Amino acid sequence: MKTASKFPFLSVVSIFFLLILCFGSFAKSSKSNNNGSSDDPKELIVKSIKLAEQLHLDGKTKKAANELERILPKVELLENETLLEKTYKLLFEYHTELKNKKKAEEFGILYNLSKTAREKKELEKINKKNVTAISTLKEEKKQSEFDKEVAQQEVVQKSSELLVTRDSLGILDLINRERQTQIDLLSKEKQLKELKVKEQALLIKEQEAKEQLTWVILASLVLGLITLSALAFYIYRNLQQKRKYSDQIEGQLEIISHQHENITNSITYAQRIQNAMLPHEHSFHHQLPDSFILFKPKDVVSGDFYWFFNVKTGSALNDYDAENEQQLSDVEVSQKIIVAAVDCTGHGVPGAFMSMIAYNLLNMIVAKNILEPDQILTELNRSIRFALQQYKNDNKDGMDMAICSIDKEKKIIEYAGAKNPIVIIKDGVLEHIKGDKEPIGGSQGKSDRTYTKHTIAIDKPTTIYLFSDGFEDQFGGPDGKKFMIKNLKDLLLNIHHEPFDKQKGMLDKTIEDWKGTKEKQIDDILVMGMKVS
């Protein structure tokens, strides 16, 4: 009895401990699930953005803007372009509504830069995909035409073989008849007595031979016709299939051609935008009468561009109609002007994107009253790296440039260069001042870059030239070599005393003659010349 009573007690204790263990495991699992769901930075950022949007709907726009500015550093570290673009856009809208003009302008620029970078990547992907598709379709069409020629040659060869077979059968028939005739003659000579019997047997054999030969001929003809029909059907089916493929290829080529036309129209429209953005050459001549600009883009749009700034009026020299002579005459000639020749990474559409970004950033920098050439380069490098987020990616886009400030009142030129030089000619002596080795922007090299400022006196008439590397790097001449910087300096020294419109024509003719008809232009070309005193 004592032994039997122990089992119920042990069962109750076991069940109790099992319940405790299950409850502890369930509580631990619930706690770990609750903790894990709140550690995702992206989810926290999305919730904060939704909270800001709800605050804005509730009429609490200022709190919504504060909430977005609080999480902005986290969004930038997350490296999610979609969330970053949305955050910039909402901050721009909220500060516009709150009439915070400075912040609205700042976030508006950041939003536009983020959007432009994204659209640039999408356009490059589409261009690359279209080029690959065109190349593949051309190869398929070429192979299809080759297969068609091979099939036609096979038809001709098979027809010739059938004709030879028919001729061979006719010859065989003649040979068999001749042999049979000889046998008959020998039999008549040897068996004159048994002529009637053997003649009857000979007739029977001859009839059998003829019937057998007829069946052989008929069988050969039928077999030949079947073979020829099968071959003709096979060739016809192949031709139909290849014609179908050819029609499909032509249709796809037509679609791609239409897409190419649309892209070309878009690039042409981008050219009009870029030309409208660049300063007016008339206004440049108004400030510096003895000057020229030789601007030769490689493609429809350019990665090179030129930029001026009137320090006295605070004008980028393209905010009025430079074709209007009356309006142009009303603009006061400034005693201080800033001039730059800029060469962005690449050419064509990618280079044009970079040129538009750099042009707007230059205007923003001088608007902050940063007017020293070396300081402009330093601030432009910082702005480019921030705009393209090069502090956290491997983007190497940037630019080389030469920039100088011409102060007619103090009789000095202040120059700074990011790789690109300046050439100065005074009293027939040429001086070549090189720029610093660091470019503007790009993830390579140091992030914080400083540039050297050079000061040149203009107590005497002085001619200066700013240029990109497109002229000196152009291939041509009798040996297909580069033009080189030495030849460019010799050319500038020889023509600097000529009128500036003539200098421009001589430079243009020289590079075109050097390039000739065999070589293509490999890069954008920009040369600026001016005389100051």
Predicted confidence at residue 303, as pLDDT, reads 86
Interval 60-117: pLDDT, tens: 999 999 999 999 898 888 878 888 888 989 999 999 999 998 988 888 888 888 888 8
Per-residue pLDDT for 11 more than 70?
Answer: no
Predicted confidence at residue 39, as pLDDT, reads 63
Q: How far is 529 from 306, CA to CA, in rounded Å?
A: 12
Predicted confidence at residue 302, as pLDDT, reads 85
Predicted confidence at residue 5, as pLDDT, reads 44
Interval 415-469: pLDDT, tens: 999 999 999 999 999 999 999 999 998 766 677 889 999 999 998 999 999 999 9
Question: Which residue type is seen at 473?
Answer: D
Report residue 194's pLDDT band, with 50, 70 and 90 as the boundaries. confident
Is 267 in a helix, a strand, or coil? helix
Interval 319-336: pLDDT, tens: 555 555 555 555 667 789
For the segment 194-198, the average pLDDT, to the nearest whole number, is 72
Least confident interval from 39-43, 59-63, 246-250: 246-250
pLDDT: which is higher, 207 or 511: 511
Contact assessment for residue 81 and residue 87, using Cβ atoms and an 8 Å cutoff = no
Predicted confidence at residue 27, as pLDDT, reads 43
For the segment 500-524, the average pLDDT, to the nearest whole number, is 94
99 burial level (CB within 10 Å; 0-12, 13-18, 19+)? exposed
DSSP string, 294-349: EEE-SSSS-SEEEEEEETTTTB-S-SS-TT-HHHHHHSPPPSEEEEEEEEESSSHH
For the segment 246-255, the average pLDDT, to the nearest whole number, is 76
Within 10 angstroms of residue 166's Cβ, the number of other Cβ atoms is 12
Q: How far is 308 from 280, CA to CA, in rounded Å?
A: 9
Contacts made by residues 16-24, CB under 8 angstroms, sequence distance 24+: none
For the segment 365-384, the average pLDDT, to the nearest whole number, is 94
Q: How far is 236 from 354, CA to CA, in rounded Å?
A: 56
Average pLDDT, the chain: 80
Per-residue pLDDT for 488 more than 70?
Answer: yes
Per-residue pLDDT for 268 more than 50?
Answer: yes
**Residue where the block lists tokens 């970078």:** 117
Give, in degrees to the nearest 5, the angle at Cα 228 between 222 and 232: 145
Report residue 513's pLDDT band, with 50, 70 and 90 as the boundaries. very high
Report residue 203's pLDDT band, with 50, 70 and 90 as the boundaries. confident
**227-243 burial string, b = 16+ CB within 10 Å, else e?**
eeeeeeeeeeeeeeebe
398 burial level (CB within 10 Å; 0-12, 13-18, 19+)? buried
In percent, how much of the chain has pLDDT > 90?
Answer: 38
pTM, two decimals, is 0.53
Please report, for the chain, the start and end positions of each structural domain, with discontinuous segments joined by +.
1-33, 141-270, 278-532
Q: How far is 29 from 25, CA to CA, in rounded Å?
A: 6
Q: How far is 347 from 301, CA to CA, in rounded Å?
A: 8
* Domain covering 278-532: architecture: 4-Layer Sandwich (3.60)
Task: Give whichever of 143-147, 172-176, 391-395, 517-521 has the largest mean pLDDT.
Answer: 517-521
Structure tokens at 34: 């609750």
